[in-house]
Amino acid sequence: MSGFSYAGRDFSPYVQAELVEPAAHVLEPRAFPVSGRPGAVLLGSELPPREVRLRLHLDAGSQMAAFELSRLRALLRAWLCVPGGGDLAVPGEGSLTWRGAVVTGVSDWDSLFEGGSCAVDFTCYDPVAYGDARSCTGTELEVLGTWPTLPVVRLTATAGSSVKVADEDGRYVLVERDLSAGDEVVMDFSAESVTVGGEDASTDVAVESAFFSLSPGAHVLTFSGCSAHEVAWTERWL
């Protein structure tokens, strides 16, 4: 057991947390019934929001007076009540963080364990955790994690009419506009947006472009129309 953080609050001075983790993600299948045969044809599956349960144990709760326990529990209630949700970092998961987490279930306090313990259920609406941030200024990169990630590509343009980044599978993002040497072009693959010199240039993205993801493993990217580049991404973990 160890502490945890949620929505910018560090709970470790007050509670120890134990992660109760399911063995795997539950998928939501999409299927189509076929006339004349039993069952259906599986079309694919969706990854729904993830449920994370923590059992919280009050740290040194048995040494507190009744009014101290009452105030501490009130503080924890306030910290857990975040209608807009927040980032969740749990014990035993290293540097992994879930985004878009909100408390969707709680149990009563159990006074049998050092002044109190309870279970708190979080629903993580982004079900794939975020790990370490990485970057590369070369053309060959290695993506860690267990889930594809969407990069941010920064390019220093040369004078010309376009910049382009492509992967080994032929997918690419092409920006066609007049560029001056030194213009900074930022391609945000998650937002599917492009800026040039800080100004929106999404209308200059060629229609055949695809903001591709980087799956775990080795990749070779090619760049044109630029004198320097950087690819930044965050590891994703199921």
How is the chain split into domains, by residue range?
5-127, 130-237
Identical topology for domains 5-127 and 130-237: no
pLDDT at 211: 97
Alpha-carbon distance of 79 to 229, in angstroms, equals 42
pLDDT at 117: 84
Token couple for 175: 């920006």
Per-residue pLDDT of the chain (238 residues; tens, 9 = 90+): 577 899 999 998 888 888 887 778 888 999 988 888 888 999 999 999 999 999 988 876 556 777 777 888 889 999 999 999 999 998 777 778 999 999 999 988 876 555 578 899 999 999 999 999 999 999 999 999 999 999 999 999 999 999 999 999 999 999 999 999 999 999 999 999 999 999 999 999 999 999 999 999 999 999 999 999 999 999 999 8
pLDDT at 71: 87
Q: Report the CATH number of the 130-237 domain.
A: 2.60.120.860
pLDDT at 57: 87
CB 125 within 8 A of CB 194: no
Q: Report the CATH number of the 5-127 domain.
A: 2.40.30.200
DSSP 27: P
pTM of the model: 0.83
